[in-house]
Amino acid sequence: MANKNIIAIDGPAGAGKGTLTKRLCDYYGFAGLDTGSLYRAITLCMIEKKHDMDNINLEFAINLTRELSDTHKILDYARNPQIRSQLTNKYVASVAKIPEIRAIMREYQISFGENPPALEDGRPAKGAIIEGRDIGTVICPNAPIKFFITASPETRASRRLKQYLDQGESASYQEVLASIIARDEADRTRATSPMKQADDAILIDTSLNNKEETFQFAKRIIDEKLKITLV
């Protein structure tokens, strides 16, 4: 039977979706899917194949996405730290806005939600958490729980800057802030599946809460709405 324990988490870059998803997956024994990493994986693969990213060839991009998705190689690319490089950052929004690529990724994400893969230790997953921009609105509109995680652009820029510096890349706070604001705008205003809070999503602002408070808040809601037996 298709899995019904699906949690949709949406919100802008750097708001803390990944941290919350990981914590909830570990706690409840759910499988997590970071859908941004899928668009990043496709972008990285195109860059590695020396595709001209300023003039994306639609047919090439669609065929590659289909192949990466059918073979699940997309998950290997998604594990490559280079998906977070500044070069991938520069081009990922142009890849993510292509409707045909989003359609292939939609099937992939729905299938992940309905049949989440086993956990790393081999246990079957008790549910799925899918995080992105359009999960509560387009991918899983019937998910029983939806969160929209946000934080001020300044808070998110400081977090991203730290990530870059930890990776050994140089960047300035002003540049990172400008790029976050530009990416928010691109995500919010694009024609296909723009980033949007679903009407029934619960808003969490992580500039106001620390990681533990955010986790505890989400946990209270999940415990109320889903019946999950922890072992």
User: Buried (b) or exposed (e) across 66-95, using 16+ Cβ within 10 A?
Assistant: eebbeeeebbebbebeebbbeebbebbeeb
Rounded Cα distance between 133 and 190, Å, is 12
Name the token pair of 1. Answer: 């039977």
**Scanning residues 43 to 102, which ones bind ligand DC (CB under 6 A)?**
92-93, 96
**Scanning residues 114 to 143, which ones bind ligand DC (CB under 6 A)?**
132-134
> Can you tell me which of 183, 198, 204, 222 binds ligand DC, judged by CB under 6 A?
183
| 187 near ligand DC, rule: CB under 6 A | yes
- Edge-to-edge, what's the strand order for the sheet holding 145-150? 31-34, 128-132, 6-10, 145-150, 202-205
186 or 221: CB nearest ligand DC? 186
User: For the window 151-180, what string marks contact with ligand DC as x by the rule CB under 6 A?
Assistant: ------------------------------
Rounded Cα distance between 117 and 209, Å, is 31
Which residues sit at the interface with ligand DC, rule CB under 6 A?
13, 35-36, 39-40, 92-93, 96, 132-134, 183, 187
